[in-house]
Amino acid sequence: MSARLRTLQKATSALLQTSRPALQPRPPRRHLSAKPFSSATPRSAHNSASSALAVPRIVQGESAARTLTVELPNGQQTSFHYLWLRDHCREPRSYHPATKQRLVDTFLIPADLEPTAANCSSEGLTVTWPEREGSGDSYDSFFPWSFLMEHSYAPALRKGLEKADRKVLWTSEISENLPTVTYEEVMESEKGVYEWVKRIGTYGFSLVSGIPPTPEATEELIRRIAFIRETHYGGFWDFTADLKHGDLAYSDVLLQGHTDTTYFTDPCGLQLFHLLSPDSSHQGGHNLLIDGFRAASIFKKTHPTLYELFSTLPVPSHASGTGSESSPSGVHMAPLVPKPVFNHDENGELVQVRWNGDDRGVVGGPAWEGKMDEWFEGVRAWEAILRSKEATLWSKMEMGTAVIFDNHRVLHGRSSFTGERRLCGAYINHDDFRSRLKGLEKQFGEKSAEKERLLSKYGLKSSSIGGAREEYA
């Protein structure tokens, strides 16, 4: 063993035995000096340190590739660039612990930066960086295994991992056990709000019973999740079928299953309705809900080519009603860029359905050449699924019970009606809903469930999460 390697191991061991630095004021931003990282953690050190816990090991620190490669207990390897590790350091000097914002200036990280040491423990990876100019001390970054596994990219180790918050797809049979919370529990505690938004996240909708039949109580209820989104319809609505806003929603006609505000670049997220006062002559007006994610899964299975078309073809949408009190010059809404019916994340998972036949614009243009026949075939096949008895959940709206649903997943509609009825409700942004759900999940849910599953998949034990250190964003 070379003298340099022995010195490196002793320095790394001594570093890990010292206490971690306390929160300090942000230091002046300087260029970091760069020294070569010349050695990986030897297998002997890996074996001696892992008698009780499975501990990954460093198999190479390549100056040429400028990456650090870690071998997991199950034998799989993943690599991280030196610059990525420095840029994503979560120590207080580099990442504000309260605001979760980056303090390190990526521009000032030298392109040739290399660590001077690295060490694997049961909790995570510690990387030591060279002295900052004039500081006289080195600097180390700690990364819990959960953080590295979750954000790995060469290769990505999250791919194929089943999410802990798996959504429950449903049919009309859910009418036998509707996801429901009470107004009282939502209003009296954050735990009650968590139970509410958890149901919305899981099923795409929830009922709230026991609400005082007033707009004031309903508005207080929805604000328990987040602030109300203002649109050309206003903020909190209190309305009847008077066509006040130049939209069929403000009429008494049948509305097939649809999602709202497809004509927005960012469609509204949650939508809540509460019936305030039907009169004695009111007939019809039953509420319709459809699980769009379930319908899409059937469409993908039965018509894969059409599903691909609906996932790639940009569909124009618009809101072009005549002038109203809120929009005296008329409404002229369209998304900045037309979007497909089905929208997916980077892993191919469906995250949004945008479907509204009434608000669809004129289809055509270069993207549509040679696809028009296939499009109309797709519309018929898709609507057949949406209108099937199995897919449609019909219910009579009742005073004192509100329904709230995820407009990115659940389609809604109503049967035609006669007579007068008064409803109230509002929109909430989808980002605000997901932020609220995530925050409450950290407070009341099983915080580490998904991370434990990820760690165990690669041979790491749950104790390898690293306690409080796993709360890195």
* pTM of the predicted structure, to 2 decimals: 0.81
We report the CATH number of the domain holding residue 328 as: 3.60.130.10
- Containing structural domain, residue 19: 3-162+451-471
Residue 230 located in a structural domain: yes
Contact between residue 409 and residue 271 where contact means Cβ atoms under 8 Å apart: no
Contact between residue 327 and residue 431 where contact means Cβ atoms under 8 Å apart: no
User: Closest Cα partner for 34 from 82, 99, 94?
Assistant: 82
Distance CA 21, CA 106 (A): 22
* 294 and 349 in a common domain: yes
* 455 and 440 in a common domain: no
Helix (H) or strand (E) holding 428: strand 421-428
Distance CA 464, CA 472 (A): 14
Residue 167 located in a structural domain: no
* 195 and 334 in a common domain: yes
* 83 and 199 in a common domain: no
* 96 and 14 in a common domain: yes
Residue 25 located in a structural domain: yes
Distance CA 285, CA 421 (A): 9
pLDDT tens per residue across all 473 residues of the chain: 444 444 434 433 433 333 333 333 333 333 343 444 544 443 333 343 333 457 899 987 566 789 999 999 988 999 999 999 999 999 998 999 999 999 999 999 999 999 999 999 989 999 999 977 555 678 899 999 989 998 999 999 876 454 555 799 999 999 999 999 999 999 999 999 999 999 999 999 999 999 999 999 999 999 999 999 999 888 999 866 544 544 555 555 678 999 999 999 999 999 999 999 875 455 666 899 999 999 999 999 999 999 999 999 999 999 986 656 666 677 889 999 999 999 999 889 999 999 999 999 999 999 999 999 999 999 999 999 999 999 999 998 899 999 999 999 999 998 776 577 789 999 999 999 999 999 999 999 875 566 666 667 667 755 433 333 444 55
Enumerate residues 6+ apart whose C-beta is below 8 A from 146: 448, 451, 454, 455, 464, 465, 466, 470
Residue 331 token pair: 């409404």
Q: What angle do CA 177, 180, 186 make, to 5 degrees?
A: 165
Q: Which amino acid is at 195?
A: E
User: For the chain, how big is the Rg over CA atoms in Å?
Assistant: 28
* 141 and 289 in a common domain: no
Contact between residue 262 and residue 359 where contact means Cβ atoms under 8 Å apart: yes
Distance CA 181, CA 178 (A): 10
Residues, the chain: 473
Residue 276 located in a structural domain: yes
* 297 and 195 in a common domain: yes
CB burial of 10-43 (b: ≥16 within 10 Å; e: otherwise) equals eebeeeeeeeeeeeeeeeeeeebebeebebbbee
Residue 330 located in a structural domain: yes
Q: What angle do CA 67, 104, 96 make, to 5 degrees?
A: 120
Distance CA 168, CA 293 (A): 10
* 205 and 120 in a common domain: no
Give the strand pairing for 287-291 and 117-120. Answer: unpaired
Number of domains in the chain: 2
* 338 and 462 in a common domain: no
Helix (H) or strand (E) holding 126: strand 124-129
Name residue, tokens 């900045």.
336
Contact between residue 25 and residue 93 where contact means Cβ atoms under 8 Å apart: no
CB-based burial label for 168 (10 Å; 0-12, 13-18, 19+): middle
User: Closest Cα partner for 455 from 165, 155, 150, 160?
Assistant: 150
Q: What angle do CA 157, 301, 381 make, to 5 degrees?
A: 135
* 314 and 185 in a common domain: yes
Residue 42 located in a structural domain: yes
* 134 and 187 in a common domain: no
Strand partners of residue 68 = 61, 80
Contact between residue 121 and residue 414 where contact means Cβ atoms under 8 Å apart: no
We report the CATH number of the domain holding residue 124 as: 3.30.2020.30
* 241 and 153 in a common domain: no
Distance CA 355, CA 260 (A): 8
Distance CA 354, CA 408 (A): 7
Strand partners of residue 410 = 291
At residue 416, the pLDDT reads 74
